[in-house]
Amino acid sequence: MALLITAECINCGACLPECPNEAIFENRSDAEAKGHHVGDDQGVGDGIYVITHDRCTECVGHFDEPQCAAVCPVDNCCISDPAYPETTDVLLEKAKTLNPDKAIDPAKVWSGVRN
């Protein structure tokens, strides 16, 4: 499933360069202007970063934990989005499609992935 950034976001930008899939945007309008879908009621206003579910792989295939959550200074700000459940296999395929020139490691999966 994709992750989402909660309303507790302090707009620090720590997560933006960490995403291996370029799934994080400074605000909802930036993401939508580039043709990406943002979940309902996410990123309302321009002070909250957003994660687009079509690009988020929860860092599966890249890291052992979601990097946005790892670097975020706010506890529980980057959380699993219940509206977009995806299995490890789906997330790995998405990672391969989004990053055809990167090595995707099927062992890089965090404990929060639903299977």
* Integer Cα distance of 59 and 45 in angstroms: 26
* Integer Cα distance of 36 and 47 in angstroms: 18
Q: Is the pLDDT of residue 92 over 90?
A: yes
**Do 26 and 49 contact (CB within 8 A), yes or no?**
yes
Per-residue confidence (pLDDT) for residue 46, from 0 to 100: 65
Tens of pLDDT along 17-76? 999 999 999 988 899 999 998 888 787 766 789 999 999 999 999 999 999 999 999 999
Domain extents in the chain: 1-97
CATH number at 1-97: 3.30.70.20
